[in-house]
Amino acid sequence: MPTAQVIARLAEQIDRTDHVFWPDDLSLADRDVFDFNGILGPNQITDAYLLAIAVKNAGRFATLDRGVSLRAVRGAKPQHLAVNIRRVGERGSVDDVIMLRATRCIHAPFFQTLTV
Q: What is the pLDDT of residues 17-71, one digit of tens each?
A: 677 778 889 999 999 999 999 999 998 999 999 999 999 999 989 888 888 999 9
Question: Range of 92's domain?
Answer: 26-115
pLDDT at residue 68 in the model: 92
Q: Do the domain assignments include residue 102? A: yes
Say if 30 falls within a structural domain. yes
- Per-residue pLDDT reduced to its tens digit, 3-30: 888 888 888 888 876 777 788 899 999 9
Residue 18 lies in a domain: no
Mean pLDDT across 99-116? 43
Whether 34 maps to a domain, the answer reads yes
Total number of domains in the chain: 1
Whole-number Å distance between alpha carbons of 19 and 5: 20
State the average pLDDT over residues 82-111: 49
Domain contains 55: yes
Confirm whether 87 is domain-assigned. yes
Number of alpha carbons in the 13 Å side-chain half-sphere of residue 27 = 4
Confirm whether 95 is domain-assigned. yes
